[in-house]
A and B are shown apart, each in its own frame.
Chain A
Amino acid sequence: MTPPASTPLPVTDFLKIPEGGEPYLEGQKCKACGAVFLGARGVCSKCGARGQIEAVRLSDRGTLYVYSIVHRSFPGVAVPYVSAVVDLEGGGTVKGNLIGIAPDPAKIRMGMPVRVVFRDALGRKDKEGNSYLSYFFEPA
């Protein structure tokens, strides 16, 4: 069995951890039409252009577009938590947990500024024992 990696692994393909640098979210941008995606692809799903997709560093600033407060989830998932859809400055829409705010509709304001922060993935480990680095949103 492979021993666990000494540093955390990225929770998803679009979270990048540069050696000796700060983690960031990576988008894919179409040079032909400007659409921004999460996840690598060869052809633009908006305009169909081929070979025009380039990796871009997404902003760590954005605004809350919409959310839901999740009270019922799968066994082992801590509730309640806020599932948030965030529009990042300069393009790219990402879903994640909104933390640092009460899970209360009276407290959460759609349109509020948020920042992307990188933390351990709530202690979740894979079967090899690897730790993961995840991203979260916090009120800015």
Chain B
Amino acid sequence: MSDVYVVGVDMIKFGRFPEKTVPQIGAQAALLALDDAGLRIQQMEALYCGNLYQANAMVGQRILQEIGQTGIPVVNTANACATGATAFREAWMAVKAGVYDLVLAVGVEQMGKGLLGGGGGGGGIPKEGLLGSGTMPAVFAEAGMEHSRKYGTTFEQFAKVSVKNHHHSTMNPKAMYQLETPLEMVMNAEMIAYPNTKLMCSVNVDGSASAVLASEQKAKELGLMKRAVRVRASVLTSDPWQERDLVLPDVNTCTRLAAKKAYETAGVGPEDIDLIELHDCFATAEILHYENLFLCKDGEAGRMIDEGATALGGKIPVNVSGGLLSKGHPLGATGIANIYEVSTHLRGEAGKRQVPNARLGLTHVIGLGSACGIHVLERVS
């Protein structure tokens, strides 16, 4: 089976667009990705659309209404925060299998504001604040406290993640925010769920990102190899059984499972990777994923952030886009936005935040419930 290539990729600047519809927001990124490749919708053989909050509303087809209804097959995916990565992977798989040569993937979300999770279900009375908390900041706070319990990771170390990612976003014009947030500002921000302050929670934004994927033959035929990015691995896992999983969602095991498989498939190790976009939905989460992606040994993640190893200029830059913490986290778009960021570095087009000579990059998302999506991408020329 031949390799699959990203030949066009882009995202809109994340923000809040209550006056627009979800398909309108998605269509913007789709057109940008087509323009990036210099292709037209009439050349696309299928569309893979990721959107979570309107999963029952045929968002992919409605995007085609905005950019050209050509009668191609449309697959709509929903997989929590792994929704965009899942759409991209379905597109990759169809090309990898030889069913199509040229397809479009779009991820889009319109978020609104406020706490996610904790709505609870079932009858009776509301359970939030009665049987603990199901809100996302608290759930990921508890996941971070497990790391503190094992390794003594401190509130300050978690906060440093946010300082770093906000700093990175000052160099990314497509991030929601371009603001420095010094350590004191992060630690003194409103406490949402200890140890996550408001500046340690990802930003709810609207956004979209899109990619055009091609078979090797098609990419060559269209003369698109020069800026093409090779997909070296596409992996999706769910969470294997863990004893505390029902009350303490385990984001570690499914990430480790996916990371092992991704490195194995790509035939590379974590030491070969030049940059990573990982799922920093909360500052606590980023620390866990240094170890889950095998960037360091278990228990060393706190030291990595202390030493600046994951900052731009460090040993392995993580979330140079600003991450979900500052670029923003439109759930269904995030997976493809990560692929845009890494591809942009591999193409040497990332401007001020460019990771020098980037050859291999990795993207990672976690959808709670759980799904983990990892992609390994490689510069071609």
10 chain-A/chain-B pairs, Cβ below 8 angstroms: A37-B246, A38-B247, A66-B145, A68-B193, A68-B194, A69-B191, A71-B192, A79-B129, A95-B132, A121-B125
Nearest chain A CB to B201 CB, angstrom units:
9
**Is A140 an interface position by the 8 A CB rule?**
no
- Interface membership of chain B positions 142-163, coded 1 if the CB is closer than 8 angstroms to chain A and 0 otherwise: 1101101100000100000000
Tell me the complex Cα distance, A33–B10, Å.
49
With A and B bound together, what is the CA distance between A110 and B193 in angstroms?
Answer: 16
Number of residue pairs spanning A and B whose beta carbons lie under 8 angstroms apart: 133
**Residues on A with beta carbons closer than 8 Å to the beta carbon of B137:** 68, 72
Contact of A126 among B115, B123, B191 (CB under 8 A): B123
Which chain B residues border A11 with CB–CB below 8 Å? 124-125, 127, 130-131
15 new A-B contacts at CB < 8 Å, known A73-B135, A74-B128: A11-B127, A66-B145, A68-B142, A68-B193, A69-B194, A72-B137, A74-B129, A77-B129, A83-B142, A85-B132, A85-B142, A93-B247, A124-B130, A126-B123, A126-B124
Contact indicator B129/A70 (Cβ below 8 Å)? yes
**Known interface pairs A45-B241, A69-B194, A126-B123. Does A78 touch B246 (Cβ–Cβ under 8 Å)?**
no
- Cα separation A126 to B135 with both chains bound (whole Å): 21
Residues on B with C-beta less than 8 A from A79 are 129
Q: Secondary structure at chain B's binding surface: helix, strand, loop or mixed?
A: loop
Chain B residues at the A interface, C-beta cutoff of 8 Å: 115, 118, 122-133, 135, 137-138, 141-143, 145-146, 148-149, 155, 190-196, 198, 241, 243-244, 246-248
Give the contacts of A41-70 with B (CB-CB under 8 A): 45-46, 65-70
Q: A69-B194, A83-B138 are in contact. Are A121 and B130 (CB under 8 A)?
A: yes
A84 partner residues in chain B, CB cutoff 8 A: 132
A contact face: mostly helix, strand, loop, or mixed: strand
Digit string of A87-100 for contact with B (CB within 8 Å is 1, else 0)? 10000011111000
Q: Please state if B248 and A81 are interface contacts (CB–CB under 8 Å).
A: no
A69 B193 Cβ-Cβ under 8 A: yes
A38 CA / B8 CA spacing, docked (Å): 47
A12 lies within 8 A of B123 (CB): no
For A37, list chain B residues within 8 Å (CB).
246
Whether B248 pairs with A9 at a CB distance below 8 angstroms is no
Shortest distance in angstroms between A113's beta carbon and chain B's nearest beta carbon? 15
B127 and A70 contact, CB distance less than 8 A: no
Closest 3 CB pairs of A and B: A68-B141, A83-B132, A77-B129
Q: How many residues of A contact B (CB 8 A)?
A: 44
Give the Cβ gap from B7 to chain A, nearest Cβ, in Å.
42
Q: Are A46 and B241 in contact (CB under 8 A)?
A: yes
Interface residues of A in 82-140 (CB under 8 A from B): 83-85, 87, 93-97, 105, 110-111, 121-122, 124-126, 132, 134-135
| A9 / chain B contacts, CB cutoff of 8 Å | 124
In contact, A67 and B142 (Cβ under 8 angstroms)? yes
> Which residue in B125, B143, B149, B193 is a CB contact (below 8 Å) of A72?
B193
Bound-complex Cα distance A124 to B244 (A): 27
**Closest Cβ of chain A: how far from B125's Cβ, in Å?**
4
Residues on B with beta carbons closer than 8 Å to the beta carbon of A96: 131-132
CA distance A105 to B193 in the complex (A): 12
Do A134 and B129 contact each other (CB < 8 Å), given the known contacts A35-B243, A65-B248, A71-B191?
Answer: no
Question: CB < 8 Å: which of B129, B149, B155 contacts A78?
Answer: B129
Output the least CB separation between B217 and chain A (Å): 43
Q: CA separation between A46 and B125, bound complex, in Å? A: 30
**Complex interface: chain A residues within 8 A of B133 (CB):** 68, 70, 73, 81, 83
List the B residue with the shortest CB-CB distance to A79: B129
Contacting pair B149 A132 (CB below 8 A): no
Which chain B positions have C-beta within 8 A of A121? 125, 130
